[in-house]
Amino acid sequence: MLLRIKYSKTPAGRFLSHLDLLRSMERAFRRAHLPLAFSEGFNPHPRISYGSALAVGVTSDGEYLDVMLREKVSPEELKKRLEEAMPPALKVLEFKEINPGGDSLTALINMARYRVRAPLLQPFEPRELEPLISRVMAKTCFYVNRQGKKGIRQVDIREGIYELRGYIEENILVLEMVVKTGSQGNVRPEEVVAMLEKEGPVSLAQGLQIHREGLFVSDGDTIKSPMEL
């Protein structure tokens, strides 16, 4: 039985690293006494695959994983076991059985929606925000530095920014963005914020609050969540 699970990373789990999240989820499955299927070989491990990794400090309403079970468990029993076993940092929102043999979540997911709250260092007129965003979105390229195995390299992220909107709320700049993510490349929300700051004249303080609202599969004009596949 291959199970696809949608879950959230709550404020209580904000500072979990990706590795910590994997460990917490596996422990929760064991507490729930799920009949986990294991890989073969010298060092067997549960057959669990995850969507795009979530950075430390980022919360989310829409993360996904696929887990293989040795035997079927009824939806009612699954719901009961998972709700009892999950730590405060994680919450199961939805699950369904899917057919084995399809593409992995990493291969499927290619789009993410974020909401970012950035404290303003200096007052900024709301009427200036829309023209600023328009100038940023009119750019044909924007290079950022990324640290890789072979050192620092420059990456053009502009084509991976699909949507960008914003408003100001009590001296906080709130940005809503849809960006590229997944195995074919990704755009980080803090890099989009850096674009705005560079274009100016907005000045932001430290302490971004980043929330991932969801992960999606985009195929041309069709956008679906992994649960709709």
Percent over 90 (pLDDT), the chain: 93
Q: What is the dihedral of CA 129, 135, 136, 142, to 10 degrees?
A: -150
pLDDT digits (tens, 9 = 90+) for 78-125: 999 999 999 999 999 999 999 998 999 999 999 999 999 999 999 899
Q: Which of 215, 110, 124 is nearest to 174 (CA)?
A: 124
Which segments of the chain belong to CATH 3.30.70.580? 2-106
pLDDT given at position 53: 94
The alpha carbon of 185 is separated from its chain's Cα centroid by a whole number of angstroms, namely 13
C-beta separation of 183 from 190 below 8 A: no
Q: Could you tell me which residues come within 8 angstroms of residue 66 by beta carbon, excluding any fewer than 6 positions away?
A: 2, 3, 4, 5, 48, 49, 98, 104, 105
pLDDT greater at residue 71 or residue 201: 71
DSSP string, 132-155: HHHHHHH-S--EEEEEETTEEEEE
CATH topology of domain 2-106: Alpha-Beta Plaits (3.30.70)
Q: What is the dihedral of CA 134, 138, 141, 143, to 10 degrees?
A: -10
d(CA 219, CA 196): 28
pTM: 0.95
109-228 maps to CATH 3.30.70: yes
C-beta separation of 25 from 64 below 8 A: no
Tokens of 9: 């990373």
Residue 73 pLDDT > 90: yes
Residue 60 pLDDT > 90: yes
SS3 call for 187: coil
